[in-house]
Structure 1
Amino acid sequence: MTMVKIVAFKLGEEEYGIDVNHVQSIERINQITRVPNAPIYVKGVINLRGNVIPIIDLRSKLNLEEAVHTANTRVIITKYEDIELGLIVDQTTDVIDADQDNIEPISSSGLDVEYFGGIAKIESRLIILIKLAELLNVAD
Protein backbone atom coordinates (compact mmCIF):
# COMPACT_ATOMS: atom_id res chain seq x y z
CA MET A 1 0.00 0.00 0.00
CA THR A 2 1.61 3.21 -1.20
CA MET A 3 0.55 6.36 0.58
CA VAL A 4 0.72 9.86 -0.87
CA LYS A 5 0.58 12.95 1.34
CA ILE A 6 -1.60 15.66 -0.13
CA VAL A 7 -2.16 19.29 0.85
CA ALA A 8 -5.90 19.75 0.33
CA PHE A 9 -7.40 23.11 -0.59
CA LYS A 10 -10.61 24.56 -1.90
CA LEU A 11 -11.56 26.53 -4.96
CA GLY A 12 -15.24 27.27 -4.48
CA GLU A 13 -17.03 24.11 -3.36
CA GLU A 14 -14.53 21.75 -4.97
CA GLU A 15 -11.59 20.27 -3.14
CA TYR A 16 -8.22 19.96 -4.82
CA GLY A 17 -4.90 18.54 -3.71
CA ILE A 18 -1.23 18.91 -4.42
CA ASP A 19 1.58 16.54 -3.48
CA VAL A 20 3.07 17.70 -0.16
CA ASN A 21 6.59 17.10 -1.53
CA HIS A 22 6.12 20.09 -3.83
CA VAL A 23 4.77 22.43 -1.16
CA GLN A 24 7.29 24.79 0.46
CA SER A 25 4.90 26.76 2.64
CA ILE A 26 1.41 28.18 2.92
CA GLU A 27 1.20 31.94 3.26
CA ARG A 28 -1.44 34.58 3.81
CA ILE A 29 -1.96 36.69 0.75
CA ASN A 30 0.08 39.88 0.97
CA GLN A 31 1.43 42.55 -1.33
CA ILE A 32 1.56 41.27 -4.91
CA THR A 33 3.51 43.37 -7.39
CA ARG A 34 1.87 43.35 -10.82
CA VAL A 35 3.94 42.37 -13.84
CA PRO A 36 3.20 44.15 -17.13
CA ASN A 37 2.06 42.02 -20.10
CA ALA A 38 1.71 38.89 -17.97
CA PRO A 39 -1.02 36.36 -18.82
CA ILE A 40 -4.34 37.06 -17.06
CA TYR A 41 -3.83 34.27 -14.51
CA VAL A 42 -0.41 35.60 -13.42
CA LYS A 43 -1.27 38.05 -10.65
CA GLY A 44 2.31 39.25 -10.24
CA VAL A 45 5.23 38.48 -7.96
CA ILE A 46 5.87 38.57 -4.24
CA ASN A 47 9.05 38.91 -2.23
CA LEU A 48 9.04 35.99 0.19
CA ARG A 49 12.03 35.89 2.54
CA GLY A 50 14.24 37.41 -0.16
CA ASN A 51 12.96 35.25 -3.05
CA VAL A 52 10.89 36.73 -5.84
CA ILE A 53 8.09 34.27 -6.54
CA PRO A 54 5.53 34.48 -9.37
CA ILE A 55 1.93 34.21 -8.17
CA ILE A 56 -0.75 32.45 -10.19
CA ASP A 57 -4.46 32.71 -9.52
CA LEU A 58 -5.41 29.05 -9.71
CA ARG A 59 -9.09 29.89 -10.27
CA SER A 60 -8.20 31.98 -13.30
CA LYS A 61 -5.75 29.35 -14.57
CA LEU A 62 -8.43 26.63 -14.38
CA ASN A 63 -11.08 28.89 -15.93
CA LEU A 64 -13.18 29.08 -12.77
CA GLU A 65 -15.07 32.23 -11.89
CA GLU A 66 -13.10 34.80 -9.96
CA ALA A 67 -13.63 35.02 -6.22
CA VAL A 68 -13.14 37.79 -3.73
CA HIS A 69 -10.13 37.21 -1.51
CA THR A 70 -11.13 36.59 2.11
CA ALA A 71 -9.36 36.03 5.41
CA ASN A 72 -9.17 32.35 4.39
CA THR A 73 -7.44 33.00 1.06
CA ARG A 74 -3.97 31.49 0.98
CA VAL A 75 -0.97 31.30 -1.32
CA ILE A 76 0.52 27.82 -1.53
CA ILE A 77 4.22 28.23 -2.29
CA THR A 78 5.24 25.29 -4.45
CA LYS A 79 8.52 24.11 -5.85
CA TYR A 80 8.91 21.74 -8.75
CA GLU A 81 12.45 21.06 -9.88
CA ASP A 82 13.93 24.60 -9.82
CA ILE A 83 10.71 26.51 -10.29
CA GLU A 84 9.08 28.24 -7.33
CA LEU A 85 5.53 29.37 -7.80
CA GLY A 86 2.73 30.66 -5.59
CA LEU A 87 -0.83 29.43 -6.16
CA ILE A 88 -3.73 31.51 -4.85
CA VAL A 89 -6.45 29.26 -3.41
CA ASP A 90 -9.69 30.04 -1.56
CA GLN A 91 -8.55 28.17 1.54
CA THR A 92 -6.35 25.29 2.58
CA THR A 93 -8.14 22.54 4.44
CA ASP A 94 -5.65 19.95 5.65
CA VAL A 95 -2.82 17.57 4.89
CA ILE A 96 -4.07 14.06 4.26
CA ASP A 97 -2.72 10.64 3.46
CA ALA A 98 -4.17 9.12 0.31
CA ASP A 99 -3.76 5.47 -0.59
CA GLN A 100 -2.49 5.21 -4.17
CA ASP A 101 -5.19 2.52 -4.72
CA ASN A 102 -7.91 5.09 -3.95
CA ILE A 103 -6.76 7.48 -6.67
CA GLU A 104 -8.72 7.08 -9.87
CA PRO A 105 -7.47 8.40 -13.20
CA ILE A 106 -9.55 11.12 -14.76
CA SER A 107 -11.00 9.48 -17.84
CA SER A 108 -10.78 11.22 -21.16
CA SER A 109 -14.23 12.67 -20.67
CA GLY A 110 -13.55 15.59 -22.97
CA LEU A 111 -12.70 17.74 -19.95
CA ASP A 112 -9.54 19.80 -19.96
CA VAL A 113 -7.69 17.30 -17.82
CA GLU A 114 -4.09 18.08 -18.62
CA TYR A 115 -3.56 19.69 -15.18
CA PHE A 116 -5.22 16.91 -13.21
CA GLY A 117 -3.50 13.76 -12.01
CA GLY A 118 -6.58 11.90 -10.84
CA ILE A 119 -9.24 11.97 -8.17
CA ALA A 120 -8.47 10.77 -4.65
CA LYS A 121 -11.38 9.19 -2.80
CA ILE A 122 -10.89 9.67 0.94
CA GLU A 123 -13.84 8.76 3.13
CA SER A 124 -16.70 10.86 1.70
CA ARG A 125 -14.40 13.38 0.00
CA LEU A 126 -13.38 13.59 -3.64
CA ILE A 127 -10.13 15.51 -4.08
CA ILE A 128 -8.98 16.50 -7.55
CA LEU A 129 -5.20 16.16 -7.75
CA ILE A 130 -3.27 18.91 -9.52
CA LYS A 131 -0.27 17.95 -11.67
CA LEU A 132 2.20 20.69 -10.88
CA ALA A 133 4.49 19.79 -13.78
CA GLU A 134 1.72 20.42 -16.32
CA LEU A 135 0.66 23.63 -14.59
CA LEU A 136 4.24 24.94 -14.69
CA ASN A 137 4.84 23.97 -18.30
CA VAL A 138 2.09 26.28 -19.39
CA ALA A 139 2.99 28.90 -16.80
CA ASP A 140 6.43 29.40 -18.33
Structure 2
Amino acid sequence: MMSEVAEEHALVMAGHQEFLTFTLGEEEYAIDILKVQEIRGYDAVTRIANTPDYIKGVINMRGVIVPVVDMRLKFHVGQAVYDQFTVMIILNLGERVVGMVVDGVSDVVALAPEQIRPAPEFGAAMDTQYIQGLASIDKRMAIVVDIEKLMTSSEMGLVDRVVAGN
Protein backbone atom coordinates (compact mmCIF):
# COMPACT_ATOMS: atom_id res chain seq x y z
CA MET A 1 0.00 0.00 0.00
CA MET A 2 1.36 3.38 -1.06
CA SER A 3 1.75 6.14 1.56
CA GLU A 4 -0.19 9.37 1.07
CA VAL A 5 3.04 11.31 0.42
CA ALA A 6 4.24 8.76 -2.14
CA GLU A 7 0.81 8.81 -3.81
CA GLU A 8 0.85 12.65 -4.03
CA HIS A 9 4.40 12.51 -5.44
CA ALA A 10 3.32 9.93 -8.06
CA LEU A 11 0.41 12.20 -9.10
CA VAL A 12 2.69 15.22 -9.46
CA MET A 13 5.14 13.18 -11.49
CA ALA A 14 2.24 12.13 -13.78
CA GLY A 15 1.66 15.74 -14.88
CA HIS A 16 -0.52 16.87 -12.01
CA GLN A 17 0.09 20.24 -10.39
CA GLU A 18 -0.38 20.92 -6.69
CA PHE A 19 -2.65 23.71 -5.49
CA LEU A 20 -3.45 25.15 -2.08
CA THR A 21 -7.19 25.61 -1.67
CA PHE A 22 -8.68 28.29 0.56
CA THR A 23 -12.09 29.79 1.27
CA LEU A 24 -13.49 33.28 0.95
CA GLY A 25 -17.08 33.39 2.14
CA GLU A 26 -18.90 30.48 0.50
CA GLU A 27 -16.42 30.11 -2.38
CA GLU A 28 -13.34 27.94 -2.65
CA TYR A 29 -10.24 29.11 -4.50
CA ALA A 30 -6.99 27.40 -5.50
CA ILE A 31 -3.50 28.79 -6.07
CA ASP A 32 -0.22 27.21 -7.19
CA ILE A 33 1.39 25.71 -4.07
CA LEU A 34 4.85 26.69 -5.36
CA LYS A 35 3.97 30.37 -4.79
CA VAL A 36 3.19 29.75 -1.09
CA GLN A 37 5.99 30.50 1.37
CA GLU A 38 4.05 29.88 4.59
CA ILE A 39 0.63 29.91 6.22
CA ARG A 40 0.15 31.79 9.49
CA GLY A 41 -2.53 33.27 11.69
CA TYR A 42 -3.71 36.80 11.05
CA ASP A 43 -1.49 39.48 12.61
CA ALA A 44 -2.36 43.10 13.20
CA VAL A 45 -1.10 45.19 10.31
CA THR A 46 0.27 48.72 10.10
CA ARG A 47 -2.11 50.72 7.91
CA ILE A 48 -0.58 52.78 5.11
CA ALA A 49 -2.35 56.02 4.14
CA ASN A 50 -3.88 56.43 0.67
CA THR A 51 -4.02 52.73 -0.22
CA PRO A 52 -7.10 50.92 -1.53
CA ASP A 53 -9.34 49.30 1.11
CA TYR A 54 -8.24 45.79 0.11
CA ILE A 55 -4.62 46.60 0.97
CA LYS A 56 -4.79 46.25 4.75
CA GLY A 57 -1.27 47.56 5.34
CA VAL A 58 2.08 45.93 6.05
CA ILE A 59 3.62 43.56 8.56
CA ASN A 60 7.25 43.13 9.55
CA MET A 61 8.02 39.46 9.06
CA ARG A 62 11.52 38.62 10.26
CA GLY A 63 12.86 41.96 8.99
CA VAL A 64 10.97 41.91 5.67
CA ILE A 65 8.19 44.47 5.16
CA VAL A 66 5.28 42.51 3.67
CA PRO A 67 2.22 44.19 2.12
CA VAL A 68 -1.04 42.48 3.13
CA VAL A 69 -4.05 42.15 0.80
CA ASP A 70 -7.50 41.19 2.12
CA MET A 71 -8.81 38.90 -0.62
CA ARG A 72 -12.45 39.18 0.55
CA LEU A 73 -12.33 42.91 -0.09
CA LYS A 74 -10.36 42.50 -3.35
CA PHE A 75 -12.86 39.96 -4.74
CA HIS A 76 -15.89 41.77 -3.26
CA VAL A 77 -17.07 38.78 -1.20
CA GLY A 78 -18.49 40.67 1.75
CA GLN A 79 -16.98 42.34 4.76
CA ALA A 80 -14.03 40.60 6.34
CA VAL A 81 -14.23 39.49 9.95
CA TYR A 82 -10.89 38.99 11.68
CA ASP A 83 -10.93 36.28 14.32
CA GLN A 84 -8.84 33.33 15.51
CA PHE A 85 -9.74 31.41 12.33
CA THR A 86 -8.59 34.09 9.88
CA VAL A 87 -5.50 32.98 8.00
CA MET A 88 -2.70 34.82 6.22
CA ILE A 89 -1.04 33.06 3.27
CA ILE A 90 2.45 34.42 2.66
CA LEU A 91 3.33 34.31 -1.04
CA ASN A 92 6.78 34.40 -2.56
CA LEU A 93 6.44 36.05 -5.97
CA GLY A 94 9.91 36.27 -7.42
CA GLU A 95 11.52 39.30 -5.83
CA ARG A 96 8.60 40.17 -3.55
CA VAL A 97 6.84 38.67 -0.55
CA VAL A 98 3.11 39.44 -0.24
CA GLY A 99 0.57 38.39 2.39
CA MET A 100 -3.04 37.62 1.58
CA VAL A 101 -5.81 37.32 4.14
CA VAL A 102 -8.37 34.55 3.58
CA ASP A 103 -11.14 33.00 5.67
CA GLY A 104 -9.42 29.64 5.93
CA VAL A 105 -7.08 27.20 4.23
CA SER A 106 -8.71 23.96 3.10
CA ASP A 107 -6.28 21.50 1.58
CA VAL A 108 -3.44 20.81 -0.83
CA VAL A 109 -4.72 19.03 -3.94
CA ALA A 110 -3.03 17.61 -7.03
CA LEU A 111 -4.93 18.42 -10.22
CA ALA A 112 -4.45 17.13 -13.74
CA PRO A 113 -4.65 19.74 -16.50
CA GLU A 114 -7.94 18.20 -17.72
CA GLN A 115 -9.53 18.81 -14.28
CA ILE A 116 -9.24 22.57 -14.82
CA ARG A 117 -11.91 23.90 -17.18
CA PRO A 118 -11.93 27.37 -18.75
CA ALA A 119 -13.74 29.95 -16.63
CA PRO A 120 -16.97 31.46 -17.93
CA GLU A 121 -17.34 35.23 -17.99
CA PHE A 122 -18.33 36.46 -14.53
CA GLY A 123 -19.24 39.99 -15.55
CA ALA A 124 -18.27 42.73 -13.13
CA ALA A 125 -18.00 40.39 -10.12
CA MET A 126 -14.41 39.45 -10.91
CA ASP A 127 -11.97 40.19 -13.66
CA THR A 128 -11.48 36.82 -15.36
CA GLN A 129 -8.00 37.69 -16.63
CA TYR A 130 -6.67 36.41 -13.27
CA ILE A 131 -8.64 33.15 -13.37
CA GLN A 132 -6.93 30.09 -14.81
CA GLY A 133 -10.16 28.11 -14.72
CA LEU A 134 -12.55 26.11 -12.58
CA ALA A 135 -11.40 22.86 -11.01
CA SER A 136 -13.53 19.90 -10.02
CA ILE A 137 -12.32 18.58 -6.67
CA ASP A 138 -14.38 15.62 -5.50
CA LYS A 139 -17.95 17.01 -5.61
CA ARG A 140 -17.04 20.69 -5.29
CA MET A 141 -15.69 23.42 -7.55
CA ALA A 142 -12.71 25.69 -6.89
CA ILE A 143 -11.80 28.85 -8.76
CA VAL A 144 -8.17 28.51 -9.83
CA VAL A 145 -6.50 31.92 -9.56
CA ASP A 146 -3.26 32.92 -11.25
CA ILE A 147 -2.07 34.55 -8.04
CA GLU A 148 1.21 35.84 -9.44
CA LYS A 149 -0.56 37.55 -12.35
CA LEU A 150 -3.08 39.10 -9.92
CA MET A 151 -0.54 40.30 -7.36
CA THR A 152 1.85 41.67 -9.99
CA SER A 153 -0.88 43.50 -11.91
CA SER A 154 -0.55 47.26 -12.20
CA GLU A 155 -3.90 47.74 -10.42
CA MET A 156 -2.48 46.10 -7.27
CA GLY A 157 0.70 48.15 -7.34
CA LEU A 158 2.43 45.68 -5.00
CA VAL A 159 5.20 44.25 -7.10
CA ASP A 160 7.52 46.20 -9.34
CA ARG A 161 7.68 44.70 -12.80
CA VAL A 162 11.13 43.76 -14.00
CA VAL A 163 11.93 45.60 -17.21
CA ALA A 164 14.05 43.64 -19.69
CA GLY A 165 17.49 45.10 -20.13
CA ASN A 166 17.83 46.54 -16.61
Query: Which residues in structure 2 correspond to 1:116-135 (within 5 Å)?
Result: 116-135=131-150
CA separation in 1, counterparts of 2:103 and 2:122?
A: 26
Please tell me the residue identity of whatever aligns with 2:112.
D
Please tell me the residue identity of whatever aligns with 1:133.
E
- Contact (CA 8 Å) 2:73, 2:80: kept in 1 or not? no
Cα deviation, 1:19-41, whole Å, max 9, x if unaligned, reads 00000000101120000111111
Query: Which residues in structure 2 correspond to 1:85-124 (within 5 Å)?
Result: 85-110=98-123, 112-124=127-139
Please tell me the residue identity of whatever aligns with 2:74.
K
Cα deviation, 1:71-98, whole Å, max 9, x if unaligned, reads 2110100122212110100000111111
Indicate whether 1:20 and 2:33 are aligned: yes
Structure 2 residue ranges without an equivalent (≥5): 1-13, 158-166
CA separation in 2, counterparts of 1:37 and 1:65?
A: 22
Determine which structure has the larger helix proportion and give its number: 2
Indicate whether 1:8 and 2:25 are aligned: no
Deviation at 1:133, TM superposition (A): 2.7
SS in 1 for 2:72: helix
SS in 2 for 1:108: coil
CA separation in 2, counterparts of 1:120 and 1:83?
A: 27
SS in 1 for 2:34: helix
Q: Please, what is the CA RMSD of the aligned residues?
A: 1.4
Aligned residues: 140
Deviation at 1:70, TM superposition (A): 2.2
2:83 aligned residue: 70
From the superposition, tell whether residues 109 and 54 of structure 1 become closer, same or farther in structure 2 (CA, over 3 Å). Answer: closer
2:163 aligned residue: none
Determine which structure has the larger strand proportion and give its number: 1
| TM-score normalised by the chain length of structure 2 | 0.79
| TM-score normalised by the chain length of structure 1 | 0.93
Moved over 4 A (4+): none
Please tell me the residue identity of whatever aligns with 2:119.
I
Q: Compare CA radii of gyration and give the structure with the larger one.
A: 2
CA separation in 1, counterparts of 2:83 and 2:49?
A: 25
Deviation at 1:9, TM superposition (A): 0.5
CA separation in 2, counterparts of 1:96 and 1:2?
A: 13
